[in-house]
Amino acid sequence: MVPGAPTRCADDSREPAPAASEPMRTAPPDATRAPPRLAVVDLARGAAIVQMIAYHFIYDLTYFGWLHFQMTEEPGWIAWRSAIVSQFLLVCGVGIGLGDAAGRSAVRFWRRWAQIAAAAALVSIATAWLFGPRLIWFGILHFVAAALLLARPLPALGALNFALAAALIGLGAGVHDARFDPPWLRWIGLVAHKPPTEDYVPLLPWFGVVAAGVGLAWLWRRRDFALPAAWRKRGPAPVRALVFLGRWPLTIYLVHQPVMMGVLLAVQQAR
């Protein structure tokens, strides 16, 4: 099992549009132009990316037999994997909420959605070749592609997203019924037995984490929280490095595992 991987949600990490009380600009906004990024969102995502790479590196060392951890069975590893997925999806929800406030265009949304959906298909094809019947058919990218569509009405709910999040997380954590075990229902997440796959991020309870992120974006817009502007270019080196990583989540997700696996395979063959 691999942990959830980083994905930038459509039009996230952007500054929200000005409040209605602010004076209107004389020039209409350019719907094709991306608003300025929010470095604090990229920072949070970058921190999750570093954890994901570390987790995957340990997973790969175990796969090659150099370490001996039961990462799919030991509670500590399972908890860390869940924490990584939660961080990514919480930031995803924040991005959905802020993107809606920034007035995201339909063109930008659907272009980003198509990128994520295509990447999900690529992951399924690659893991079918690598793992056979344990291919990833509803992993983190598949989930995000579905969540982007399902979450479109959520920004309008405001604070109600927190109640929705609690209900969905509670339902996903508390209900496990064998009637949801058939292959065509497993994506919902209420299964009694986890399906055989290398990454499994079903709708429940994880869509509840996305809803919580949308709720945080609603609060964020009222607090106007952000990193100090100077940190974007002149901040501490670790902060700038995390912000940079957080700008390229999908690329890093698709590239880092083939690179690490390739290097470890070369080392193994050279021994």
Q: Is 140 helix (H, G, I), strand (E, B) or coil?
A: helix
Q: Hey, what amino acid is at 220? A: W
Nearest residue to 192 via CA among 203, 208, 181: 181
Q: Is 14 helix (H, G, I), strand (E, B) or coil?
A: strand
pLDDT at 236: 84
Distance of alpha carbon 233 from alpha carbon 217, whole angstroms: 24
pTM of the model: 0.84
**Residue 15, pLDDT above cutoff 80:** no
Mean pLDDT of the 171-200 span: 96
* Residue 163 or 269, more confident: 163
Asked if 190 and 175 count as a contact pair (C-beta separation under 8 A), the reply is: yes
Number of domains composing the chain: 1
Tens digits of per-residue pLDDT, 235-262? 788 888 999 999 999 999 999 999 999 9
Domain assignment present for 212:
yes
Domain assignment present for 126:
yes
Tokens of 144: 């995000």
Asked if 215 and 162 count as a contact pair (C-beta separation under 8 A), the reply is: yes
* Residue 219 or 203, more confident: 203
CA–centroid distance for 70 within its chain: 24
Tokens of 151: 């979450």
Distance of alpha carbon 223 from alpha carbon 40, whole angstroms: 14
Domain assignment present for 196:
yes
Q: What is the mean pLDDT of the chain?
A: 86
Q: Hey, what amino acid is at 190? A: L
Tens digits of per-residue pLDDT, 26-85? 344 444 455 557 788 899 999 999 999 999 999 999 999 999 999 988 999 999 999 999
Tens digits of per-residue pLDDT, 119-147? 999 999 999 998 899 999 999 999 999 99
Q: Hey, what amino acid is at 237? A: A
Q: Mind spelling out the 3-state secondary structure of 153-171?
A: CHHHHCCHHHHHHHHHHHH
Nearest residue to 96 via CA among 47, 154, 139: 154
Domain assignment present for 260:
no
Q: In this prediction, what percent of the chain has a pLDDT beyond 90? A: 68
pLDDT at 104: 75
DSSP state, 235?
S
pLDDT at 177: 97
Domain assignment present for 13:
no
pLDDT at 5: 52
Which domain does 184 fall in, by range? 103-226
Distance of alpha carbon 181 from alpha carbon 200, whole angstroms: 13
Domain assignment present for 154:
yes
Banded pLDDT at 3 (limits 50, 70, 90): low
Asked if 238 and 195 count as a contact pair (C-beta separation under 8 A), the reply is: no
pLDDT at 222: 75
Domain assignment present for 112:
yes
End-to-end CA distance of the chain: 27
**Residue 227, pLDDT above cutoff 50:** yes
Indicate the range of 17-21, 50-54, 129-133, 223-227 predicted with least confidence.
17-21
pLDDT at 59: 93
Domain assignment present for 11:
no
Strands (E), the chain: none
